Each structure stands twice: as C-alpha cells, then as structure tokens.
Amino acid sequence: MIDRYILPLQRRLLAPPARLLARAGIGADQITLAGFGLGLLAVPALTFGWYGAALAAILLNRLADGLDGAVARINGPTDRGTFLDIALDFIFYALVPLAFALADPGRNALAAAVLITAFVGTGSSFLAFATIAAKRGLTEGAYPMKGLYYIGGLTEGTETIGLFIAMCLWPAAFPVLALIYAAACLLTTISRWHQGWHAFAPTDRG
C-alpha cells in the first residue's frame, strides 16, 4: 500500500552504496544470494527464541533486497535477476512464520499456517497478474523500475517487513499479528482477483 511512497526514498539512500558495490565488481545476483543466505539465519534464530538476532537477519535481508535492485539499475537489469529476486523473496516471507511455528507449535502453528496460506494468495495473484500483463505488454507507471508488472495492494513489501519487525519485538503477540495480517492479505488477494477479472476480460470481437 505504501511501497510507491517508500521506494523513491529508498532508491536515493541506496544509490551511493550501490555505486560502490558496482565499482567493486559485485553484481546484483551476488547481493541477492547473499541476502537470502542472511535471511535464512533468521529461521534458527526464531526457532531458538533469539529474537534480536532474528531481527538483525531480517533487516540485513531486506537491505540486500534493496541494494540488489539499486546495483541492477546501474549495471542493467536481467531476467535472471528478476527471477531470483521474486522467487527468493517469496520463500523468505514464508520461512519467517514457519520459524515461529517451530519455536512454539502449540501456540503459533495454526496462525502460522493461516498466514502462509494468505501469502500464497497474495503471491499467486501477484505472479498471475504479472504473467498475463507481460503477455499483453502492459506496464505499471507507479513502479517503472520493476522487472515485471508490479500490482500493489493493501499488503506489500513495506507492510510485510513492518509485520516481521513487530513479531520479533513482541513475539508473544505472534498469533494475533499473524491472523490480522492474514485478513489484510485476503483483502489484497480479492482486490487483485477483481482487477484481473476486469483487466483481462475477453475483448468483444463481434
């Protein structure tokens, strides 16, 4: 919902370190993979209740996610980079609630399952829309630097990271936070279904 307002500021802040990384010969794909590796560290940290370490791993993962895009804008985006960015992001988003479920199955497992299911809804509707939009040659003016058609919604990247931060700061509230956010994801999914239904309606050839 607020990504379009946050992204311009993020790009300005990350441009200087991105230029240094590009000059050092570090490519966007390397940053993406390194960021994913850092994000994976959040899983054992959350499982064992090391919430400060988990928060640090999550924030480093998100920093890398911003830097890889900034470096790609300098060196030129690639289809492989877009693929890696989206595929690894979606897995990372699912691993965080899974780790909370592993930490306390009795308390967190059901809420984690509901949230992961909600993520499947937002992720599948996002990718389905982007696939058909690419086939039709559509572009999204609000996110011109994305590697694919970026359809927004109530729950986007900024909101999801805010959720993960809140979960690390108040882990006892995980079930409530997860269920509330899952409901917001459901609204996002429904809105994307609605947009796709109308945007991709068959044209009248008669």
pLDDT at position 26: 94
Are 167 and 174 in contact, with CB atoms under 8 Å apart? yes
On the question of pLDDT at 143 being above 50, the answer is: no
Task: Tell me the pLDDT tens digit for each residue of 58-113.
Answer: 999 999 999 998 999 999 889 899 899 999 999 999 999 999 999 999 999 999 99
Dist. CA 193–CA 186, nearest whole Å: 11
Q: Which residues contact 150 (CB under 8 A, 6 or more apart)?
A: 130, 140, 142, 143
What tens digit of pLDDT does each residue of 28-39 get? 999 999 999 999
pLDDT band at 119 (very low <50, low <70, confident <90, very high): very high
Residue 150, Cα to own-chain centre: how many angstroms? 12
Confidence tier at 129 by pLDDT (50, 70, 90)? confident
For residue 157, what pLDDT band results from cuts at 50, 70 and 90? Answer: confident
Topology adopted by domain 3-199 = Four Helix Bundle (Hemerythrin (Met), subunit A) (1.20.120)
User: Which segments of 24-104 does DSSP mark as H helices, in order?
Assistant: 28-40, 42-47, 51-75, 79-103
